[in-house]
Structure 1
Amino acid sequence: MTNDKCTVAVVGLGYIGLPTAAIIARSGCEVTGVDTSEAVVETINRGDIHIEEVDLDGLVQAVVARGTLRASVDMPEADVYVIAVPTPFAKDGEHTPDTGYVMAAADAIAPRLKSGVLVIVESTCPVGTTDAVRDRLAQKRPDLAMPGIAEGTPDIAIAYCPERVLPGRILEELVHNDRSVGGITPRCARKALAFYKRFVRGECVTTDARSAEMTKLVENAFRDVNIAFANELSMIADKQGLDVWEVIRLANRHPRVNVLTPGPGVGGHCIAVDPWFIVHGAAEEARVIRTAREVNDAKMHHVLDQATALIEANPDVPVACMGLAFKANIDDFRESPARFIAARLARKFGERINIVEPYAKELPIEFGETGANLIDIDTALESCGILIVLVDHDLFRSIPADERKDALVYDTRGIWPAAR
């Protein structure tokens, strides 16, 4: 890898992989995005995108037209490999991390490796995964010296560098946020640092791979714990007949208090998932982190119970569940509490349930035979006597009080003060 020319393979073209590939391609590197989906590959090679993200469509169109980004189902030879594949839970009901996609990516990369290559894991992983990738590559390629286990100068550099981006701001934050660059050895970290400085303007701080892995998990666990406090407070307020929004507003006037805003739970593929990776690695010690996860999951069921009671108390009144995304103004429904609650209500109340989701063209598969309908916000305001706010989309925030004054409102996001 020289300063003026660098070939990069980004493995996985999802919500993180595709924006990352596009940003790297914009910096002048020749990038191949690798994905197992032929449909995704064909879409990107047309200059189109298969996900929603602010300004991503224009950037992908530009770098594909320029020839610095292409997509393929085949793994190319490259100077740098960036692994950005999912790390879901195993199907054991125990929230066990499944690093199978990461290891499959390592297996696909192994035959293409040559001396001087840099391999970076960006997928959120349990502590020790980068070492496991190194060991897997060493097993597949005994002809190459791997860092940390070979004497002398290794042939391959391996590092862990997690993203820390917010959906809706991914392109900006990939460039401007600070990065933790964790190498298996200091030499690996320095090589990864040189790569990231090509396109990252934020500070890149080098460390070891295990510390970088834990850092990403800690960041999301910290946020989960703070959200759990707000969600638990909201359930206490419901039981004691208090307005949680008023309590939080007053408490936050204290100069050293900043209670977050409660919601119907916690969603997404980071905050709702990553804390369990810490619990899995230190089950006896991670008591607060485990409890926070349980509180935030319990909030979904609390909201479901409250919504069910409201609907049952008003028979035959059409219902609008407002939002399916895990956060405002995005089309990402992964691990979404809103999606969970709306689907459960649809199963119970059938065609009485209508879904308003401006970022969906059709309802997810679990709504298929429930009788629920996807409608627009104007139709909901005209025809639905119960409005259940599950996501704080800007579109919903903009609805004035007089357009919802005749409806029964259950606002889990606190976006309509007049409804409190």
Structure 2
Amino acid sequence: MKFLDLFAGAGGLSEGFVREGFKPIAHVELWDAASYTLKTRAAFHYLEDFGQREIYAQYLRGEISRDDLYSHVPQNVLDSVINKEIGEDTIASIFEKIDALKGDEDIDLVVGGPPCQAYSLVGRARDPNGMKDDKRNYLFQYYAQFLERYQPKYFVFENVLGLLSAKDENGALYFDLMQQKFREIGYRVDYRVLSADNYGVLQKRKRIILIGKKTEEDFQYPEPEPVEHPYTVKAVFSGLASLHAGEGDVYGHPLTAGRHSQWLEEFGVLSTYPVTFHYARPNCDRDLEIYRRVVDLWNHERKRLDYSQLPEELKTHANQKTFLDRFKVVAETESASQTIVAHICKDGHYYIHPDIEQNRSITPREAARLQTFPDDYFFESASGKPSRTDAFKQIGNAVPVLLAQKIAAKLREVWDD
């Protein structure tokens, strides 16, 4: 089954579908860094399929450049990533590229969700006009144009919970407008709020998953069955080298630090490739002292630190009334961590490593594991020089791979019904 991946980001959603045997025709993504990540992942899958694993391993060890990696992959594989903004001026040229890529093949499925900032509660709270003027509010109309052109049997539309309450200037709910539009073009639609921690992801993350089927008959939502498991967040950190703030390396090393948790194997995170992006942010002494207090308080009293409780010499924020929990440990004894968000690219204060000896915020690789990206997933920048900031932003914006995989598996199961 062939699919089209819109607003693709770093590819968390599409990777889950690839794992279940769906084949991507094209990924459409605006951001250069994420587009290169998608190209590198396409290269990975091609090299895996053709038994050329060592070339990708060389790349993860930093032994060959990105251009060298891409030189081993057919151009049409790299061209499947369309690095363009979806909009009125570009949609015709995007259609043209997709038509060339698909040839005579049908597109069976469309997946993706427009950027969530315009619908997010945080975004609306910060914007004086509640994001009502943001053109991204109407990207679903372009999504509908892809559905009209390619007539897939199903589509999967993902977004943040804020979409349920976001309104246009006339007071109409965008979510109602979307569903109405999708029905007008021949789809029966339904949605659920799915929580990633119900599906093996060791992170609390709720998302709207709207699914549509091209049919005139009644449509039963293909809701994936929850997964029970005994694991805690500790599994995410297993097998990775201990680091202090500022230590580590972008390029890959084998897993070295003791035994890894069975969770990594059971849910497809573990890889035999070198592990990349396990390098920690440097921090000033003041932050490290706060980190120590945060972890110590959690370890001994199972309490979160309130910013107002810090000694005056450790306080730097003038606004001490909001975000009192701005420093938070990723507690390894919990069944799920706090939600990983794109703000992690700015600072790691909300994501402190639970080991007081390491005394640092989590690395991009640890964040990627919380999002269930496999350890062989490489996060690119536009320049080709690895960027921790770009990696964190891509990871924070992604759909957990495992959640996507469970949705894909259920869709396969009911495909012919």
Bin of the TM-score, shorter chain as denominator length: 0.3 to 0.5
TM-score (norm 2): 0.37
| The structure with more radius of gyration | 1
TM-score (norm 1): 0.36
Q: Which has the higher contact order (CA 8 A, sep 6+)?
A: 2
Higher helix residue share: 1
